[in-house]
A = this chain, B = another copy of it.
């Protein structure tokens, strides 16, 4: 046996019930945050009883932690993929691609990333170590991107790259509050945001 997958007893021949729980939890966390979202709500959305959740997760905090880590992972992978696809472009276009990928992860179909932002931005409680780690790794992507842009001369000389990063991520995540798909276009927004960070078009480099 090559252990094809984890077998399940009840939920169909496929064992996707953990993912289903995470999906519903992400949706509810996205719109309600940590304290407004109860395990009963999540269980009801999944179609099981609250106690059954404890078969998959040891506590509410562990469930939420799983959702949040997935959310950070998703946006991280999306941005990494966008940067890989734009490997040949200049740093300014790479910045714009990364911004677009971040916005798409926030406002696309998945609820994970926005749930992650909602739960741990303006954070109330202590942040779990695993979340802190994955967030820091994601921040490093932006640090690297801005350093690259700076070396290429795409940032005005006086600006602090760290302040720039904090501004940019804050503004990007703040879009949760005002972004509506019918009123804004992610590509156009990305162009606006990138133009703010790197005003002069430095993209001659191949």
Contact = CB atoms under 8 A, between A and B. Distances in A.
Nearest to A123: B177
Interface of A is mostly: helix
A177 B122 contact: yes
Given A117-B122, A122-B117, A163 B192 contact: yes
Contacts of A178: 166, 170
A177 B124 contact: no
Interface residues of A, number: 38
A69 interface: no
A98 to B, nearest CB: 16
A176 interface: yes
A91 interface: no
Interface string A157-170: 01110011011111
A175 B168 CA distance: 11
Contacts of A159: 192, 195-196
Nearest to A167: B171
Interface stretch (A8-16, A30-38, A59-67, A140-148): A30-38
Interface of A: 31-33, 35-36, 117-118, 121-125, 156, 158-160, 163-164, 166-178, 189, 192-193, 195-197, 199
